[in-house]
Amino acid sequence: MSQLSTRHLLGIKDINEEDIRLIFETADNFKEVINRPIKKVPSLRDITIANIFFENSTRTKLSFELAEKRLSADIVNFSSSNSSVKKGETLIDTVNNILSMKVDMVVMRHSSPGAPHFLSKNIKANIVNAGDGTHEHPTQALLDSFSIREKLGDVAGKKVAIIGDILHSRVALSNIFCLQKLGAEVMVCGPITLIPKHIASLGVKVEYDVRKALAWCDVANVLRIQLERQQIKYFPSLREYSLYYGINKKMLDNLDKEIVIMHPGPINRGVELNSDVADSKQSIILNQVENGVAVRMAVLYLLAGGK
């Protein structure tokens, strides 16, 4: 298999295991490229990509932009904060105006779940979902699984605990789909108020005690508390959350095995992770950032048809 089964990357739910493995194999090649003295290849020299972000982003936007530049693509950056969206322009009109400038691919982040799916039914360009509300964040899940594969050799058979604000996290859902398709066991852990009511129906284990989750897993993917998405209080205070669900070095040292620590960023140090954990040798957080560029290069290259 040398091409993806889909024209878009809207969510992990919409792709199959073969697609994921092809992305990983392609990312292996691009990781070698970005570690060369000359980090650029002309693979997408004739492709124009629009980065359309309706929500704030640092890591994802920089990672996509760097991936596009490494592939020699032409880039158009769009931010809704200083655009005609503020004047009442619709999503379709905004994107069609950008596409009329002969853009081949759209990388989009939007606060509304399903926005990239809606767009894919109305425009001809390839679409990459860079996060849609609390729904999915496919490239983050791909780079997380790629990082586990790089660190542990394979994802199949590994036990992965996703710990934190599961309810508001698009990273959690995409990770669940991706890890399961690659044969991993998945557990979610957090306060009962931050665990979706019927999440066990996705085939994941549910745990409310962080120490039990750490004892069970091979990999702990720790999520931040998404205060900007919370309309009501789900726990008394960040201090109390940290007391019950914050992970420190002493907790890791008390385990009878060494586990891998991951975090999609940004980290709230002293809340979900202490610095002695985030900066420890068990942490692969910076590897995730590096792998993000290679994985996004692979996604863009494959969606462009491997030109």
Residues of the binding site for carbamoyl phosphate: 59-60, 109, 137, 140, 265-266
Helix (H, G, I), strand (E, B) or coil at 248: coil
Cβ(97)–Cβ(49) under 8 Å? Answer: no
Buried b / exposed e across 7-34, counting CB within 10 Å, b at 16+? ebbbbbebbeeebbebbbebbeebbebb
Residues at the annotated binding site for L-aspartate? 87, 170, 224
54 with 83: CB under 8 angstroms? Answer: no
Neighbour count for residue 268 (Cβ, 10 Å): 16
8 Å CB contact between 272 and 225 = yes
**SS3 category, 61:** helix
For residue 279, give the amino acid letter. Answer: D
> Binding site membership: which residues?
59-60, 87, 109, 137, 140, 170, 224, 265-266
At 12, list the tokens: 């992990």
Q: Residue 74 phi/psi, 5° resolution? A: -85, 140
Instruction: Determine contact, residues 128/304, Cβ cutoff 8 Å.
Output: no
Question: Which residues pair with residue 110 across a beta bridge?
Answer: 132
CB 79 within 8 A of CB 107: no
